[in-house]
Amino acid sequence: MPSRSDLSLRPRLATLLALAATLTAPAAMAAPLTFPGCGATLQACVDAAASGGTVELATDSWINETVTVTKSLTVQAAAGRRPGVRSLVAVASVADVRVEFAGLYGNTSLAGIVGPGGGSLDFTATRNQLETSANAAIEARHSTQPGTYGALAAHITDNTIIHRRNGSWCGTPMRILASNAGPISATIARNSIAAVDLAECALIELYATTGPFQVLAQHNTLRGTGGFNNGISLRSQGSAVTAALLNNVISGQRNFAGGPAAITLYAEADNAHIDAQVLHNTIVDNDVGLNASARTDLGALLTGRLANNIFAHHSRHAFWLDGEEVPGFLDSHNLVFDAPPLPSAGGPRPYGPGTRTGDPQFGDPAPGDFSLRPGSDAIDYGSDALADARVTQDLLGQPRRVRTVDMGAYEFQGTPLPQVRIAPASTIEGPAGGAPQLRFTVTLSATPTAPVSLQWRTADGTANAPADYTSGLGTLTWPAGDNSARTISISVRGDDDAESGETLLLLLDNVTGATAATAQALGTIVSDDAAPGPVDGGAHPVPALGPAALAACGALLGACGARSARRRRKGRPQA
């Protein structure tokens, strides 16, 4: 029988055990804060969030705030919502901070900045769909203040950016800048950047005055309309830079000025050293495919490897390697097609071993399908010994190596993949209160042998959401063996205005199991006044109407007269 003293200890022992359990049990994660609702402003909501927590934006509106995040936090779109924010800036100075910005839309600017104080920043920008002009859509960098700097790790993945030139100003869509002592590492992967008339801009700018600086850029698609001057620009002004540019597609680099190229590597100051692996890229329809240079007179050095790439349809040259400037940057096993020949003397060194000059035979290059067709001179002519182990899949998510690795960003699988096509659509706007539909038809060119999926979204043209139509995004899928058409319906807002037709775009992204023969389609909203009718001003016969039809017509005309009296201009969001 237990002693009286043992009995008296039992309640206290139970209390201590319960307390120990509360101390050792994992802390429950705080529920996400939701904006609007968690503060008068988004900045107030961010300030109120617990470190390590999440703020979800449950709105489709643009939030006109510049928000600074100085604690570990995730700021993301709530499920099914399409929010935009003027600017979100993650800042680390004294303390270590981990920040993620995800699922944002529109004219939003995202930045991760390390300031003086010794704190490090782990910065992620992912799954954002941005449309910008003057400012960088996404950047990671040091501040300009002197002091002690911690590390910056940037993860920029799965973003879609449409970047347009704003007048004479030229902003870079994406950039990583190292300007103070402190290590920077960056992963830039699976992003799609479309540039419109950028002229003298780079699409991805990587610039280091200090180091060490490490960057991995892989599986990105960079394309231009109207020209740009650099696709990926990597420059060092005195730091040690290690770079891997793997399995990217770059096309549309035009408006040659100042020595740019689809890829530029430039070690340009005292003791600058770039070691670059440029492998498995498809570089098409540019003025220049690649420029590589080093100020050897200042002690700068460029080393590395250029291999397993396709350079096709270049107006000036595919790539130009000066044997005196870059003797340690070696090229081999590249395909060079439809480019002016290198001069026989007094210029660059000859192309390296394994170079091929046959037709790559792209799937459908006009809309940007650079996959390989049967008979391509790139199939099985890459170098397995120079293949990068980090590249296990090609740009379509297929196995990277079938037999011998292929040149370029795509691996021919033996059977051509089906092509996805999207047809333009149009509808008559109709009266106020109505909701006619724009119906886009999406088809596959062949029956797929594996599942096919893609993501779609709308983008404003001359029509604006939500005033003119309901914006949307979604996913289409086809199981293996199914090549039936799919329809995407977009609701249009009817009104009583007399106006010309308006347009919007339907964009396709992240196509897997197929290639995108067309990546976008135009939707046209035709006003009632612009609908087809007599155009010659002559007389047209009117069919005879019975009594019932005449009565119905009289009622309709009365309604139309009332509607005409109510006509008004609808409000439009300000640009």
pLDDT above 70: percentage of residues in the chain = 83
Q: Are 469 and 525 in contact (CB under 8 A)?
A: yes
Instruction: Indicate the helix (H) or strand (E) that contains 11.
Output: helix 4-24
What pLDDT score does 424 carry? 94
The tokens for 397 are: 């998510």
Relative to beta strand 437-444, strand 486-491 is: antiparallel
What pLDDT score does 328 carry? 94
Report whether pLDDT(542) > 70. Answer: no
More confident residue, 218 or 252: 218
Q: What is the band of 540 on the pLDDT scale with cuts at 50, 70, 90? A: very low
Per-residue model confidence as pLDDT tens digits over 469-527: 999 999 999 998 999 999 999 999 887 665 667 899 999 888 877 878 888 899 999 87
Strands, E, within 209-324: which ranges?
Answer: 213-218, 221-225, 230-236, 240-246, 249-251, 263-267, 273-279, 282-294, 301-307, 310-321
Mean pLDDT of 188-207: 86
- Return d(Cα 503, Cα 525) in angstroms, integer: 6
Report whether pLDDT(8) > 60. Answer: no
Q: Are 469 and 440 in contact (CB under 8 A)?
A: no
Q: Are 334 and 309 in contact (CB under 8 A)?
A: yes
Report whether pLDDT(325) > 80. Answer: yes
Question: b/e for 382-418, b at 16 or more Cβ within 10 A?
Answer: bbeebbbeebeebbbebebbeeebbbbbbbbbeeebb
- Return d(Cα 316, Cα 291) in angstroms, integer: 11
Q: Are 289 and 317 in contact (CB under 8 A)?
A: yes
**Using CA of residue 167, residue 225, residue 264, residue 320, what is the dihedral sign?**
negative
Per-residue model confidence as pLDDT tens digits over 413-439: 887 778 899 999 999 887 777 788 999
- Return d(Cα 374, Cα 524) in angstroms, integer: 37
Per-residue model confidence as pLDDT tens digits over 48-68: 999 999 999 999 999 999 999
Average pLDDT taken over every residue of the chain: 83
